[in-house]
Structure 1
Amino acid sequence: MLRRRAHKKSRRGCSECKKRHIKCDESVPQCGFCLGRKLDCMYGDSVAPATPSPKAQSPDSSSNRLLEAKLLHHYYTNTSNTVSSPSDYHQWHNLFPEAATSHAYVLDSVLAFTALHFAYLEPNSRQTWLEIGSHYNNRACSELRRVVGQVSASTLRPALVCSIYIALFANARIALLGDKIQSSHLADILQTRTLLKGCLFFHQTMENMNIRSGLRMEQYLWRDNPSENPSSPSPVVPGPTVRRMGTLVLEKFKTEPGQGNQSRFEICAIACQGLIDSMDSQYTVETQGRNLFLWPLSLDDSFMELLQTNEFPARLVFSLYALGIHFFKGFWYIGEAGYRLGRELLPLSEPVSEYWVDVTTSLRAEFEIDRAVQF
């Protein structure tokens, strides 16, 4: 009797194919079997690397190679232009992509961020691109966690580059998911703060080891001149509005008549003053954008505890940050994130004590200036 010819076992197949003991073609974001049967296709940490050697590739992987070629081409011709300007062109077009040529996890992070740009440009295919982006981002994060435990002079630069794209991915995901986001907007924004701390860790470690990165920390994470790209209109300068509203909030902290609140008001006042200072009128819109983007890194644990326990004074201060972000909604990877965060921090349905009504009403109005809809 003829026996069925056994197939070569793959250790990198998806969970559904492994469960059914069938060969997985290892396509992403879904293998052929799961795609045809509309199943959730999940790969483990041992999924095949983004840049397998020619010998390891099978005919089934050709679709993956074409997808990655499409993503890379789009990064160089489109996505990189949305995060670069003449002053830092070399960084985004040469320095960062160079790390992806020798480190698969850096390549994965570039592909992930680019996939989300496709999700922005092609709303009818948004879910597909979000899944593709998440697949590559998960692989990049998994490998980066391993690298963190083995930091060396040779791994720091690629780890830093990867962490930057992962942070940008997190911002873009928040912008694209919008109100479909499953967690709170605040929780997701705080997660990006954690990712920024990771970028800062690699940057500072490079400095401590006397490894020149060639750039200041803030230049990794903010474009110098968004008006260079017609698809990203130049934002209105956020400084005057944030300073004006911040000063109103600060005065409330200094004169609040309640008892037993002095400590938390002092904590919030320090955070508020730091944000006001970062929006100083001497700074250009680009510098204000950088300062705003990095401001959450300056917040100490005492303020973060107040914010995470839903203390109103801390929410009021953080809504100033949301207001600043709202001015940069022209960036595709920011979008309406500031507005949605402000709506969550200062909901209309929440009763506010008489002492805070005026400043809360004014802040809500600032978010509603250019739209008919309300919180």
Structure 2
Amino acid sequence: MTIPRMAASCPYLLDSIHAFSALHLAAVETDNRASWLDHAARYQSQACAGLSRVLPEMSPQDYEPAFVSSIIIMLFAIGSRVLSLENQPLDPLLVVLEARTLISGPAMLFSRINEGGVDAQLDGWLCAPDTQESLESGKHDDGGWMITRNRGRNPVENTRVLFNLHKDIMTSLARLHLIIDTRKGSDQPIYSDTWQQLQQAIEPWPKIGPHGGPLAWPLFLSDKFSSLLQHGDWVARVLFLHYGIAMRLLCHRWYVRDWGRRLVSATLEQLDEIPPEWEETISWIRRAVARED
């Protein structure tokens, strides 16, 4: 009840809720998807404009509604790509840089809330690393996508598949860590730091964890890592591909769905000749992205 009460006196937060709600309806009512997407885009535009007017001169009382609105705006950006009627090819690097930019807003506001001594209405809700993902999406109105993709598979089996995928990701990350440890040169610390951040994001699943889970991982990427990825560095590529596979752990969320699969597939399409040391890893990644959720 806290966020709706907050939104009643904060138009940009109410607009962001309306935008995300309309986007959800676009996911559920596929026959009316185009109409709901139009409504969602209009409310999203109003929410972004309203938030941008508040940000330059925020008072402590603005921190929480701005924080919640910025999170919803970020999730909208992810979901709108998933539900878009346009089937445009993905630019994986652009996607992760956009995600980092979008997540930086909520992260900045979260820091202000923690450091500013604000009488938080959301106290107790903001720090919940033990919160678990709801994996039984077949029981909800937005679970039809998974039921369609996995006809005949029950929610228990869906959950087992995701737990097996998580185990496989952690095993592959452990192998990748051994390879990174043998690397020499100035980029080795970048590899190690990025691997650690990725491991910390994925390992707690199905709990969210203290670092926000796979969804928040782009926030921690350095400019140096982004540059390595842009220039086709193989360690950076493989780390990024593991992130894409990890996003498949969130496929039960209606605003994520097959986002991880699409991200990995788009990255694999851009790969040139695969060096022998990465053939086994890339082979596993291809199998992981091809398996049913």
Scaled by the length of structure 2, what TM-score is found?
0.82
Q: What CA distance in whole angstroms lies between the structure 2 residues aligned with 1:228 and 1:285? A: 14
Given that 1:174 and 1:181 are in contact with CA atoms closer than 8 Å, whether structure 2 keeps it comes out as: no
Higher helix share: 2
Change (3 A) 1:273 1:154: closer
Scaled by the length of structure 1, what TM-score is found?
0.65
Given that 2:96 and 2:218 are in contact with CA atoms closer than 8 Å, whether structure 1 keeps it comes out as: no
Which runs of structure 2 are paired with 1:21-100 in the superposition (5 Å)?
Answer: 94-100=1-7
1:244 matched to 2:153? The reply is no
Deviation at 1:363, TM superposition (A): 1.4
SS in 2 for 1:210: coil
Given that 1:116 and 1:130 are in contact with CA atoms closer than 8 Å, whether structure 2 keeps it comes out as: yes
SS in 2 for 1:149: helix
SS in 2 for 1:331: coil
Q: What CA distance in whole angstroms lies between the structure 2 residues aligned with 1:332 and 1:321? A: 19
Name the amino acid aligned to 2:180.
F
Change (3 A) 1:251 1:111: same
Name the amino acid aligned to 2:23.
L
Paired residues, number: 271
Q: What CA distance in whole angstroms lies between the structure 2 residues aligned with 1:186 and 1:174? A: 15
Of 143, 152, 156, which aligns to 2:50? Answer: 143
Counterpart for residue 253 of structure 1: 180
Q: What CA distance in whole angstroms lies between the structure 1 residues aligned with 2:245 and 2:200? A: 15
Percent of aligned positions that are identical: 25
Question: Where does structure 2 lack aligned partners over 5 or more consecutive residues?
Answer: 144-154
Change (3 A) 1:129 1:223: farther
Question: Where does structure 1 lack aligned partners over 5 or more consecutive residues?
Answer: 1-93
Q: Give CA-to-partner distance per residue, 1:104-124, whole Å, 9 cap, x none.
A: 111110010011111111222
1:285 matched to 2:206? The reply is yes
Counterpart for residue 271 of structure 1: 194
Counterpart for residue 139 of structure 2: 230
Deviation at 1:217, TM superposition (A): 4.4
Counterpart for residue 277 of structure 2: 355
Which one has a bigger Cα radius of gyration? 1
Q: What CA distance in whole angstroms lies between the structure 2 residues aligned with 1:97 and 1:369? A: 39
Counterpart for residue 192 of structure 1: 99
Counterpart for residue 123 of structure 2: 214
Superposition CA RMSD, Å: 2.7
Which runs of structure 2 are paired with 1:311-330 in the superposition (5 Å)?
Answer: 311-330=233-252
Q: What CA distance in whole angstroms lies between the structure 1 residues aligned with 2:89 and 2:51? A: 25
Of 242, 246, 254, which aligns to 1:332? Answer: 254
Deviation at 1:188, TM superposition (A): 2.9
Q: What CA distance in whole angstroms lies between the structure 2 residues aligned with 1:341 and 1:179? A: 16
Counterpart for residue 346 of structure 1: 268
Greater RCO, CA 8 A, separation 6+:
2
Q: Give CA-to-partner distance per residue, 1:200-257, whole Å, 9 cap, x none.
A: 111111122101341454659x86434377134575235322211112222333346x
Q: What CA distance in whole angstroms lies between the structure 2 residues aligned with 1:255 and 1:193? A: 29
Name the amino acid aligned to 1:239.
H
Given that 1:200 and 1:217 are in contact with CA atoms closer than 8 Å, whether structure 2 keeps it comes out as: no
